Structure 1
């Protein structure tokens, strides 16, 4: 997810691990010092997001009128999600590729869904993990605790089919511009089989996955100052109008508003490409 709205990043400390501890899993710690209330809207991102709320006042979410509070999972079909809090607090955010999320969450409805409270999936284990994280002052130690917890959720013999993992990797590599027919041919599956198996394991269709990846690329181009017409062409949209329509459908915002998303301003800090 990337965020829009009023967000003073000069009042936020961002910490990331020296190196990712698990392939396909990225973490970042956010410590917000401003006492002013936080009210932002998160828009779609092509990774599954876990939000571990370490603040005292609690973070509240609202998606399509359904409220949630505290620790939550944001799936691939969330759409715009409004997040609010009383300010001053800490959040550990974890981003996972859908392939890794399939092993950790083991529920395609969650991976491809909207926002659900984490306790609905892991029960009291979440409260125990949160308390341990809150009582641990070092972000490096917090990252290690979270990584250990995630690894403990993976069965010894579980994973998506290699064809699905390959299809996801190719979708990311081509920034969502590889046609489904070509992708199916590369896996050796029929288009129908790839479509059904991809959805069964990752919770979304290959088409939706491609759109998420393509839109993420377009959003970063817009944030970098590219004109909407140029961003549309480079990201694989038919034209500027096509980008505008899809942006409105996915975020309820215009491309110009997405370009001003504060989250994108520190994206390379929180989620370095290396």
Structure 2
């Protein structure tokens, strides 16, 4: 095997942090030869605080938006897939944040990091210090406790997010991306244009794109659960070892599209091409590497 996961530890944040952080994933991986993974798009922020072997994060559309030779970085919301490349032994903690949570924790509008991977030491001094503290902790419990303390301190010091934006996000997320942008705007008392501009600046992407990504994430996660089984190490299903839908009890593409809020199968396939770089059928084949969550 090209990459072997030697440790995978899921940690639950302090209960006070649960509205902002779902879980921590501690990992250690040995990669014998260069391994390239395709990371799917998503309306979330990924924070990697790692040590050991560095990796490259590459946006095929614009290489200058990537990060190279890093083991601690932040990736903002992405509206297309990117790739990572690594070799050697690496370890770290992965933290996934929703855009409203990331807006508060980072203290900056996410429009500044959309479709970008930024080294931790190039983004904020506290992130670089936190990586060192996490790496120096004696065990995973100590690392997760340090994350709890740092994130709680950031949230306590952060200003609130505009409640109208939060309401728009909650309605959109609660509908699984099905809520119409016009209805969102009406609910918060803004015009569609003003909502789109504010949403994009603060949360990184316009509501229409976020809605598409939410539907895609649901379909991608469903694909992983039904074809692959439960993810093995807390990261999202790396679609790639199960039979194509329609065989051995798996769902057909049209059924999957309907269940996940798509108009038809062609729209599902279009979004998979754009957000994951390939069709669902191809991603269901063996050795389709991905580590982003669905």
- Both proteins in one fold, TM over 0.5: yes
1:113 is matched with: 115
Q: How many Å separate the matches in 1 of 2:43 and 2:273?
A: 17
Corresponding residue of 2:268: 243
Q: What is aligned with 2:27?
A: 31
Of the three residues 231, 247, 253, the one matched with 2:256 is: 231
The answer to whether the Cα contact below 8 Å between 1:27 and 1:143 also exists between their aligned partners in 2 is no
In 2, the alpha carbon distance for the partners of 1:194 and 1:47 equals: 19
Q: Which residue of 2 aligns with 1:200?
A: 201
Question: Which aligned segments of 4 or more residues in structure 1 are displaced greater than 6 angstroms?
Answer: none
Conservation of the 8 A alpha-carbon contact between 2:81 and 2:275: yes
Matches within 5 A, 1:81-96: 81-96=82-97
| Structure 1 residue 197 displacement after superposition | 1.7
Q: Is the 8 A contact 1:61 1:84 kept in 2?
A: yes
Q: Return the match for 2:38 from 32, 41, 50.
A: 41
CA apart distance, 1:210: 0.8
Distance 1:80 1:157, change over 3 A: closer
Mapped partners of 2:272, 2:186: distance in 1: 30
Q: Give distance in 2, aligned partners of 1:220 and 1:258.
A: 12
Cα offsets for 1:128-152 (capped at 9, x unmatched)? 3222211212212212212322344
| Partner of residue 16 from structure 1, selected from 11, 14, 21 | 11
| 1:137 equivalent in alignment to 2:162 | no
Q: CA deviation at 1:50?
A: 0.5
Determine the C-alpha separation between the residues in 2 that align with 1:135 and 1:157.
26
Instruction: Output the CA distance in 2 between the equivalents of 1:131 and 1:157.
Output: 23
Aligned residues: 260
The whole-number CA distance in structure 1 between the counterparts of 2:161 and 2:206 is 15
Superposition CA RMSD, Å: 2.7
The answer to whether the 8 Å contact 1:78/1:115 transfers is no
Structure 1: stretches of 5+ with no match in the other structure: none
Gaps of 5+ in 2: 228-250
Tell me how far apart the structure 1 counterparts of residues 128 and 13 of structure 2 sit (CA, whole Å).
Answer: 26
CA distance, structure 2, for counterparts of residue 50 and residue 20 of structure 1: 20
Do 2:113 and 2:204's aligned partners in 1 also have CA atoms closer than 8 Å? yes
Q: Tell me how far 1:127 sits from its aligned partner.
A: 3.5
Normalized against structure 1, the TM-score is what?
0.83
Matches within 5 A, 1:135-174: 135-154=136-155, 156=157, 158-174=159-175
